[in-house]
Amino acid sequence: MSAKFETRDIVVPGDLLYEGRIRTGDNTFRSEGNVYSNKVGLVNYSNDRVSVIALEGTYSPLVGDLVVGMVTDLELGQWVVDISTPTDAILTINDAVNKSYRTSFDMTTVLDVGDVVVAKIVDFDRRRTPILSIVGRDLGKVYEGFIMKITPSKIPRLIGKKGSMINMILRQTRCQITIGQNGRILINGRNREDEELVVKVIHKIEKEAHTSGLTNRVQEYLRTIKEDRN
């Protein structure tokens, strides 16, 4: 009945986290009565459970998540959208336009293969394929900007506590940034320089996501770059 690490220690798959009975949180599993980590991450012991905050990870979709995806295929009455999940997501016509499906309807007028969409996950079908919707404010086809990818497990860090990190970046760079929970970030700025600044900052956050006091350091980093430029 004891903890084998201290909170915020780095653990790797197979590390014994706790001997004895305790509830298992994220990224842990039980084997022969003990709790082990199954990912690289920072261990977190709370009163009644042990969990691991993953440092690397694939995106597992949840209902309500905002994602940035790319249309990869057109099917009868639906689009197939790659949102970097283990299985591709599906966007039906009903969730894309306020019309019912008719055979005469040309789907490519709404979305075509290669188009990028900002969408929301609204449901899962019986095979746990994510169902998307682009009906709503700030959702739909993307016309300008560019996409960068980071590890999905670091998205919460990029947003920060109640959006503190991303709001600070938005204020400082004046770019439009849409963060998909699947690790794809849509950036659209007034000029190239601002956009490059955002890319630099996001790379820094991704690299140092596991350290504390990051928001202040990023603010400092932004200021020094801006001063260099002027």
Partner 1 sequence: MSKKTKKKTTKRKTSKKKWVRVDGRKPDELRPIHIESGVIPNADGSAYIEMGRNKIVAGVYGPREMHPKRFSKPNTGILRCRYHMAPFSVDPRRSPAPSRRDQEIGMVMTDAIEPALFLERYPRSVIDVFVEIIEADGGTRCASINAAAVAIADAGIPMKDLVSSCAAGKYEGNVILDLGDYEDKKGESDVPVAYLPKNDQVTLLQMEGIMTQEETEKCIELAIEGCKQIYEIQKEALKKKYGMVEGAEETEKAPEEEKPVEEAEEE
Which residues of this chain interact with partner 1, rule CB under 8 A? 7-8, 10, 12-16, 27, 29, 31, 36, 38-40, 42, 44, 53-58, 65-66, 82, 84, 86-88, 127-128, 138, 151, 153, 155-157, 159-163, 166-167, 170, 176-181, 207-208, 210-214, 217
CB of residue 182 vs partner 1: minimum separation in angstroms?
10
Task: Closer to partner 1 by CB, 46 or 105: give it.
Answer: 46
The answer to whether the beta carbons of residues 195 and 175 sit under 8 Å apart is: yes
Cβ contact 164:213 at 8 Å: no
Report in angstroms how near the CB of residue 7 gets to partner 1 at its nearest: 6
The SS3 of residue 109 is: helix
Contact 205, 158 (CB under 8 A): yes
86 contact partners, CB below 8 Å, separation of at least 6:
58
In whole angstroms, how close is the CB of 102 to partner 1 at the nearest point? 28
Q: Which is nearer to partner 1, 22 or 121 (CB)?
A: 121
Q: Tokens 């956050």 belong to which residue?
A: 205
**50, 80, 108, 150, 226 from 41: Cα distances, Å:** 12, 32, 43, 16, 33
Residue type, 125: D
User: 3-state DSSP call for residue 225?
Assistant: helix
- Please give the Cα distance from 111 to 214 (Å, whole number): 39
Nearer to partner 1, 86 or 101 (CB): 86
Nearer to partner 1, 111 or 179 (CB): 179
Q: Least distance from C-beta 222 to partner 1, angstroms?
A: 14
Closer residue to partner 1, CB minimum distance, 207 or 223? 207
Q: Least Å distance between CB 103 and partner 1?
A: 26
